[in-house]
Chain A
Amino acid sequence: MSVTLLSVATAISQAILGAIGSVLPQPASGAVTNVNTVDGLAALIFAAILLLASMLNTIVLIWWERKLLGRFMDRRGAMHVGYAGLLQNFADGIKLFRKDTVKPREADTLGFWSGPTAYMVTSLIIFAILPVSTGWNSGSLPLSLLLALAVFSFAPLFIFVSAWSSNNKYSLIGGMRSAAQMIAYEVPILLAVVAVVLVSGSFDLQTIVLEQTNYWFWVPLFLALVVFVAGMLAEMERIPFDLPEAEAELVEGWNTEYGGMMFAFFMLTDYLRALLGSFLIVLLFLGGWTMPGWVPAAATSFPLAGIFWFMLKVYIVFTVFVWIRASLPRVRTDQLLRVGWNRMVPLALLSVVLAALLVTVKCLPVLGCIPTLGG
Chain B
Amino acid sequence: MSEMWINMGPQHPMTHGLWNLRVHVDGEMVLDVDPEMGYLHRGIEKISEDRHYNEVVTLMDRCCYVAGLAWEHLYILSAEQALGIRPPERAEWIRMMSEEFQRLGSHLMWYAAFVQDIGLMAPFLYGMRDRDLVLDLFQSYTGARMTYEYMRVGGVRNDLPNGFTDQARKVCDWLIDRFEEYDRLCLASAIFHKRCDGLGKMSRADCVAYGVTGPMLRSAGSKRDLRKDRPYSAYDRVEFDAATADGADVTARYLVRMEEMRQSVRIIRQALDWLDKNPGPVMAARVPRWLGAPYAPIGNEGYLLKRNYPKGLGLSAIEEPHGEAQAYIVNDGGEHPYRVKFRSPVFANISAAKKYLVGYRIADIPPIMGSVDVCVGECDR
Assess whether B362 is interfacial by the CB under 8 Å rule.
yes
Assess whether A317 is interfacial by the CB under 8 Å rule.
no
| Interface contact A249-B125, CB-CB below 8 Å | no
Assess whether A320 is interfacial by the CB under 8 Å rule.
no
| Interface contact A72-B122, CB-CB below 8 Å | yes
In the assembled complex, the Cα of A172 lies from the Cα of B4 at a distance in Å of 12
Q: A240 to chain B: which residues have CB within 8 Å? A: 119, 191
| Interface contact A329-B363, CB-CB below 8 Å | no
Contact of A331 among B28, B117, B195, B362 (CB under 8 A): B195
**Given A72-B122, A73-B125, A329-B195: A248 in contact with B117 (beta carbons within 8 A):** yes
Q: B122 to chain A: which residues have CB within 8 Å? A: 69, 72-74, 326-327
B interface majority secondary structure:
helix
Assess whether B120 is interfacial by the CB under 8 Å rule.
yes
Assess whether B288 is interfacial by the CB under 8 Å rule.
no
The digit string for A45-81, where 1 denotes a CB below 8 A from any CB of B, is 0000000000000000000000001001111000000
* CB nearest neighbor in A for B28: A333
Which residues in window 274-332 of A have CB below 8 A to B? 325-332
Assess whether B348 is interfacial by the CB under 8 Å rule.
no
B contacts with A, residue count (CB < 8 A): 32
* CB nearest neighbor in A for B129: A74
Contact of A239 among B12, B13, B119 (CB under 8 A): B119
* CB nearest neighbor in B for A331: B191
Q: B118 to chain A: which residues have CB within 8 Å? A: 248, 329-330
Q: A75 to chain B: which residues have CB within 8 Å? A: 125
In the assembled complex, the Cα of A170 lies from the Cα of B366 at a distance in Å of 14
| Interface contact A329-B120, CB-CB below 8 Å | yes
**Given A172-B1, A240-B191, A329-B192: A246 in contact with B120 (beta carbons within 8 A):** no
Q: A331 to chain B: which residues have CB within 8 Å? A: 191, 194-195
In the assembled complex, the Cα of A356 lies from the Cα of B226 at a distance in Å of 67
| Interface contact B361-A328, CB-CB below 8 Å | no
| Interface contact A329-B362, CB-CB below 8 Å | no
Assess whether B300 is interfacial by the CB under 8 Å rule.
no
| Interface contact B28-A329, CB-CB below 8 Å | no
| Interface contact B126-A169, CB-CB below 8 Å | no
* CB nearest neighbor in B for A240: B191
Q: A118 to chain B: which residues have CB within 8 Å? A: none
Assess whether B121 is interfacial by the CB under 8 Å rule.
yes
Assess whether B185 is interfacial by the CB under 8 Å rule.
yes
| Interface contact A73-B195, CB-CB below 8 Å | no
Q: A169 to chain B: which residues have CB within 8 Å? A: 4, 6
Contact of A74 among B28, B120, B126, B362 (CB under 8 A): B126
Assess whether B308 is interfacial by the CB under 8 Å rule.
no
**Given A248-B116, A248-B117: A170 in contact with B363 (beta carbons within 8 A):** no
| Interface contact A327-B185, CB-CB below 8 Å | yes
Shortest A278–chain B CB gap in Å is 20
In the assembled complex, the Cα of A251 lies from the Cα of B8 at a distance in Å of 9
Q: B1 to chain A: which residues have CB within 8 Å? A: 172-173, 176
The digit string for B362-379, where 1 denotes a CB below 8 A from any CB of A, is 111110000000000000
In the assembled complex, the Cα of A250 lies from the Cα of B192 at a distance in Å of 19
Contact of B12 among A246, A251, A329 (CB under 8 A): A251
Q: A176 to chain B: which residues have CB within 8 Å? A: 1
| Interface contact A73-B119, CB-CB below 8 Å | no
Shortest B307–chain A CB gap in Å is 54
| Interface contact B361-A251, CB-CB below 8 Å | no
Shortest A134–chain B CB gap in Å is 39
* CB nearest neighbor in A for B364: A332
* CB nearest neighbor in A for B124: A73
**Given A73-B126, A74-B125, A75-B125: A335 in contact with B117 (beta carbons within 8 A):** no
* CB nearest neighbor in B for A70: B125
In the assembled complex, the Cα of A31 lies from the Cα of B109 at a distance in Å of 71
Assess whether A106 is interfacial by the CB under 8 Å rule.
no
Shortest B119–chain A CB gap in Å is 3
Most A CB contacts (10 A, CB to CB) among B8, B13, B185 go to B13
Assess whether B14 is interfacial by the CB under 8 Å rule.
yes
Assess whether B172 is interfacial by the CB under 8 Å rule.
no
| Interface contact A249-B363, CB-CB below 8 Å | yes
Assess whether B175 is interfacial by the CB under 8 Å rule.
no
In the assembled complex, the Cα of A331 lies from the Cα of B363 at a distance in Å of 9
Assess whether B115 is interfacial by the CB under 8 Å rule.
yes
Shortest A70–chain B CB gap in Å is 9
| Interface contact B192-A249, CB-CB below 8 Å | no
Shortest B178–chain A CB gap in Å is 11
| Interface contact B363-A73, CB-CB below 8 Å | no
| Interface contact B191-A329, CB-CB below 8 Å | yes
Assess whether A242 is interfacial by the CB under 8 Å rule.
yes
Q: B28 to chain A: which residues have CB within 8 Å? A: 173, 333-334
| Interface contact A242-B125, CB-CB below 8 Å | no
Q: A73 to chain B: which residues have CB within 8 Å? A: 121-122, 124-126
Shortest B106–chain A CB gap in Å is 20
| Interface contact A333-B363, CB-CB below 8 Å | yes
The digit string for B26-62, where 1 denotes a CB below 8 A from any CB of A, is 0010000000000000000000000000000000000
Shortest A234–chain B CB gap in Å is 14
| Interface contact A328-B366, CB-CB below 8 Å | no
Assess whether B162 is interfacial by the CB under 8 Å rule.
no
Q: Enumerate chain A interface residues (CB-CB to B < 8 A).
A: 69, 72-75, 169-170, 172-173, 176, 239-240, 242-243, 246-251, 325-335
**What 8 pairs between A and B have smallest CB-CB spacing?**
A330-B119, A248-B366, A73-B125, A329-B118, A248-B117, A332-B363, A329-B119, A329-B120
Can you sample 6 A-B contacts with CB below 8 Å? A248-B13, A249-B362, A249-B366, A331-B191, A332-B364, A333-B28
